[in-house]
Structure 1
């Protein structure tokens, strides 16, 4: 099975490391870490990820504009975007999809189920027998 790649955009170093380790070690993802949305947009072109996981709570001045640019890339390249947020339970999956996201993962997250949750939300999870 070819490896699946994910762009991980998280501004907190320790959280980025934990998320990256969970996705790599427990889910077999090839993770490209990014510390900012702007850097993530640039990495999309060179890395061509299969999915994007972004924490939108950032100190970047133009975060909303940058999120819209990321969503534009997502639409053009058919790359699903997931949010990771402490506010993930504020909206339904349908509402997230209307906003241009494939879904959201709540913080705090369960490290043991993170990869399966990502796969399920972007429909990469293989059926169990």
Structure 2
């Protein structure tokens, strides 16, 4: 499974990368929403899932999700928000933008992997 993971925190990117690669996933990393859009466009094949933070420079997670959902080639890709935010209004905003699910940091690696497997239907 290939996962595009977007977070402005190097520590979180490293933790996500470690978690995913330990499970045999192919992790592709980006450091903000704009970089995520560029990375997605450069990928030979679309990822099976996307993880994105919300609070990032240049383009936040909401903007990133909206941009991805505008493109028909990516409309079926599950997008999980991975953030420190837990407010109901933020979750609602993410769903309205097109997010599939929400995981609060700090994350439990097993829960993250389980959520990715659930939303993609891939093992």
**Equivalent in the alignment of 1:115:** 113
**Helix, strand or coil: the match of 1:6?**
strand
Deviation, 1:95, is 7.5
The normalised TM-score by structure 1 is 0.76
Unaligned runs of 5+ in 1: none
**Helix, strand or coil: the match of 1:69?**
helix
Q: How many equivalent pairs are there?
A: 119
In 1, Cα distance between the equivalents of 2:117 and 2:86? 17
Contact 1:7 1:34 (C-alpha < 8 Å) held by counterparts: yes
**Helix, strand or coil: the match of 1:113?**
helix
**Equivalent in the alignment of 1:7:** 4
CA RMSD of aligned residues (A): 2.5
**Equivalent in the alignment of 1:32:** 28
**Equivalent in the alignment of 2:73:** 76
**Equivalent in the alignment of 1:42:** 38
**Helix, strand or coil: the match of 2:114?**
helix
In structure 2, the CA distance between the partners of 1:89 and 1:114, relative to structure 1 (3 Å rule), is farther
In 1, Cα distance between the equivalents of 2:111 and 2:97? 25
Deviation, 1:118, is 2.0
**Equivalent in the alignment of 2:99:** 101
Specify the structure having the higher radius of gyration (Cα).
Answer: 1
